[in-house]
Each structure stands twice: as structure tokens, then as C-alpha cells.
Chain A
Amino acid sequence: MSKVLVVAEHDGAALHPGVARVVSCGLGIQPGGLDVAVMGQDCAAIARQAAGIAGVSRVLCLDRAENARPLAAAQAPQLAALAQQGYSHLLGPSTTFGKDLMPRAAALLGVPQVSDIMSVEGERRFKRPVYAGNAVLTVEAPAERIVVATARLASWQAAPEGGEGAVENVVLDVELPDHTKWLELKMPETERPDLQSASVVVSGGRALGSADNFSLLYDLADHLGAAVGASRAAVDAGYVSNEMQVGQTGKIIAPELYFAIGISGAIQHLTGIKDAGVIVAINKDPEAPIFEIADIGLVGDLFSIVPELKAALEDS
């Protein structure tokens, strides 16, 4: 019977919404039990949140000063030690947190990693995207070895609340390296919803032309209660900051409604949005590849269309 350990991502105050999605992926393996590991400092409240996810059997709380900030160098050895206590699968999210941490843990365990699980085909058999989403590969992890993997969040629904898992404190006798020091985290101030969990996202591309012009999209987004995203070209040009990038090397998202405004639709961008419910494209070039996948397209100049759209949405 397989037994799954899910690594919880959190920011010290709250559980990351992706944890419930990774739990869904883990439950897809139909395990005999699914535990969540919370590594942090004073993380009892976060552990209780994790225990409230349906399907979670136990939450293991690794409370220690070195876990105040998520450093892979310190967390991977703890995770590897914990995973060896009877788990068949170790799962994390395909976020920058999980991408940093999980391969380090996998290498310590001496096993390969399955990145970005889209679907579970069997206890050790998974589908994952390769070549910027141009293909889906089915892989089988080696038998009799622990399976280490990350779950592609956009492929999984969050497991519902209503769980009643037990919370246990765990003390591991693992020596941690001191060669890595956390210095700071700069987060841009925004009141807008989080890009990865928002149900509506308004994204802009190079066509916006300047940081100032992005205010057109902020206005529209605020009216819709939407998050704002961007193409890499817009980020590179300095119109917006990096955490807004959507795509192969940015965030993979699955909102119900996605607006691609002045974005051409390069494959690296499309791979970040192909699970969106409805894609709306606004582009002045009728041949732009974005129209090949958009559900609703409007050809024209964004600088007149976007204000018009906002006005039209206002009179209702």
C-alpha cells in the first residue's frame, strides 16, 4: 500500500493555496495514507490549516529556527530523512518553492524526480509536459524506490476543506549545513488577487509599450476583480515586475477567464494558459498565433478597445 508525504508551502503566516491541489494529486495515487509535512518556525497554525484539507491523515510539524525561511539546503535533508520513515511517494508543488527544494531532496534520496505531474496513470506512472507543452510524456518511476515528484498545480483541483487530520510535532536528528543564508524577500505591493489563484486574469504584452500604459490593464482588472499578468517581453522591457510573467518559465495558470492583450501568442506563453476556461485575445494583427487558441478574439487597437471594454462593462 502506498503512503504519500506532501510538502506544504507557506509564507510563515498562511498555507499556500496550492497545497490542497498537491493533496488532490497525491490522493490520485489512491494511497493507504497521506501526510503533510510543514517545515517552519512557530508553524502550529499553518499545520492546523493543512489538517483541515480533506484526505489528509496526519500533519507533521517540523518546527525549528532553521526553518524560519524556506532554504532548500536546510530543508532537503530534513525532507529526505522524513520521507524514509515509511513513505512510498514524496510530493511537492511545481512552484519556485517546490522546484528549488524537491530535486535536492530527490538527489539526497538517490532517485530521479518526476516534474510537473499532469495526471496519475498508476502508482508509479504519470503524465508530464515536455518541450514547452508541445508533447505529453508518460513515465514510469523505478520500482521499489521512493517516488519524488512535483504536481503541476493548474492540472489539479484543490481538495476540499473538511479534513480532520491529526497534528504531530516531529523532531528529527538531522545536521543542517550553514553555508546558505537567507537575506530578504522583496514583494511588490499589490491589493490585487494572486495570479495563480485568481479566477480572472488580464495580461498584457509588449504592445503596451510602457509601464505607464499598463495602468489601462490595471483599471480593467480592478473593475473585474482580476489579477494582472504579462508576457515575458513585457517583463523584460521593464513594464511590470518578474512575478507577473505567465508561461513556460513564468507561472502556469488556469483562471476561468483570461485576457491576452497585445500578446502575440508564442508557444512559451501559451503553455502557461492552455488550461484556462475561456481565453479572450485582443490584438491588432489578425494573423497573430494567439487567435489560434483564443475562444473569443477581437482584432483591433488595444488602446481604443480596452477603455471601451471597461466602459461597456461598467454600464450594467
Chain B
Amino acid sequence: MRKILVTLKRVVDYNVRVRVKPDGSGMAVEGLKMSINPFDEIALEEALRMRERGDAGEVVAVTIGGDESQQQLRTGLAMGADRALLAKCEGELQPLTVAGILLEVARREEPDIVIMGKQAIDDDCNQAGQMLAALWGRPQATFASEVQLDGGSARVTREVDAGLESIEVQLPAVITTDLRLNEPRYIKLPDIMKARRKPLEILSVDELGLAAAPSLQPLGYEPPEQRQKGVLVEDVAALVGRLRERGLVN
């Protein structure tokens, strides 16, 4: 039976507006509501559906981060993951480092498929899945909106700028999710209770003995340029008048 690894990143909930700290040294995230990165929730949902269809056996959720990320793993377990793995390390992580750690995890776990989000909504990098696929020497199917498994391969429909592209990848492979792949389920109370008894293994990243990956040095954050609030017009005639004044329409 296929084994599926799903990555879950702990991020500020997408409904919360995050602001730059006054001194520009980072984002003011203290005390904000934290959640699973929305794309990763979709990744987990897809893995669970594979298992429920009989296309997969075990679903393992992986997070790289501090102890507080156990919260997101417990949520993943409540959603239905069979077990969870926390690769523990502190500090800001960049995608190349994440990919290097995931490679070690993939070597230990030997999954048939790794499903990741296409993008973390905090750093907005859109890199980690592609980087893992490169380091692992395996195929990547990014921005998936449909996945069909067939023996040792997967047929994936990808959301690309021009439309919908389909590719076939041999397993093991890395798949990254787009928003329309599925709609994640809601968690029921009994599932939260059950999740407490599911295994959550903690692995120290230091013990993996990874060489530090080169990284980008953050020099400072600033708020984006604000657009000026414009005018409200009374009616269509006034709107067209304004557009004509600016030479935007005939």
C-alpha cells in the first residue's frame, strides 16, 4: 500500500492581517491566531481521500519547527492523519533548509508520494516542494488541481497560467497543491479526542547532522506602499466622466 507524507507548516491564520513591527525587524506575530497553512490542509485532505478510496495505506504528517508546531500536528491527526512527526528546530526556516530536512525524512520514511502546499502564505516563496523533488532526484507535479493514481504513477492536472496541463509522473514523486484540488473537511470533537492517542514522534534536526544550507539574509521589513483612497461617485455618468477626464476610455 502506498505511503503518503504530508507537510504541514504552522503559519498565521489567513484571516488575520499581519503587520510589520515598528522597528522593521520582523512581523508582529506574537499572540496571533496560528493555523495550518491553507495549502497544506488541502494536501492532507487529498492524502486522506486517497486512503479512504483504498489508494493509500498510511498518511504521515510532518512539520518542521518549534514545540509549538505540535498544535498543528495534533490538528492534522484530528483531521485523520495516522501519525505525526515533528522535526524540531528553532528559528526562521528557508525553503532550501526545509527541503534538506524533508529529504532526510523521506529517506527514513520512504514514502511513495509527498504532498505539500504550493506556497506558504507567510514567506510566499513557492519553492520547498520543487527543491525537495530536485534534491531527492524525483519528479514534481506542482500546482495540482486533480490527482489520479494508477499503479506506479500519478496523472496530475496542473493549474498553469495558460489553462490546465496534465503530466504523468512515476512514483515516488512530490506533488504540490493548488486551492481547487479539494475542500478540506471540518474536524469533529470526537476526532480531537482520538488524535490525542495517535503517535507524535519528535526528531531533533541537530541529530540529523545536516550541513547548514546557504540562506538569504533578511535585512528588514517595511509596510507596502499604500494606495490613496479615491473618490466615490454618484452614478454611471459621473464614473464615465472621470474615466474620460483621465483619457482611459473614449
Contact = CB atoms under 8 A, between A and B. Distances in A.
Interface stretch (B1-9, B45-53, B117-125): B117-125
B216 A141 contact: yes
B151 to A, nearest CB: 14
B124 A115 contact: yes
B213 interface: yes
A111 B96 contact: yes
A112 B163 contact: no
A281 B17 CA distance: 22
Contacts of A111: 96, 214
Given A180-B168, A267-B17, A278 B224 contact: no
A133 B237 CA distance: 34
A272 B219 CA distance: 25
Interface stretch (B61-69, B139-147, B195-203): B139-147
Interface string A106-123: 111011111110000000
Interface string B155-182: 1001111111111111001000011100
Contact of A129 (B128, B130, B224, B230): B224
A30 B72 CA distance: 45
Interface in B210-243: 213-225, 227-233, 235-240, 242-243
A179 B139 contact: yes
Nearest to A312: B240
Task: Assign chain B's interface to a size class.
Answer: 35 or more
A135 B221 contact: yes
A73 B139 CA distance: 6
B36 interface: no
Nearest to B19: A134
A112 B215 contact: yes
B161 A97 contact: yes
A257 interface: yes
A129 B164 CA distance: 27
B249 A184 contact: no
Contact of B125 (A96, A113, A200): A113
Contacts of A291: 229, 232
A129 B20 CA distance: 12
B215 A296 contact: no
B134 interface: yes
A164 B235 CA distance: 51
A308 B18 contact: no
11 contacts: A96-B142, A129-B224, A130-B122, A131-B124, A132-B124, A136-B222, A185-B164, A241-B164, A242-B178, A313-B249, A313-B250
Given A179-B139, A295-B228, A296-B233, 8 more contacts: A104-B133, A106-B127, A136-B224, A241-B163, A249-B178, A257-B243, A293-B227, A298-B233
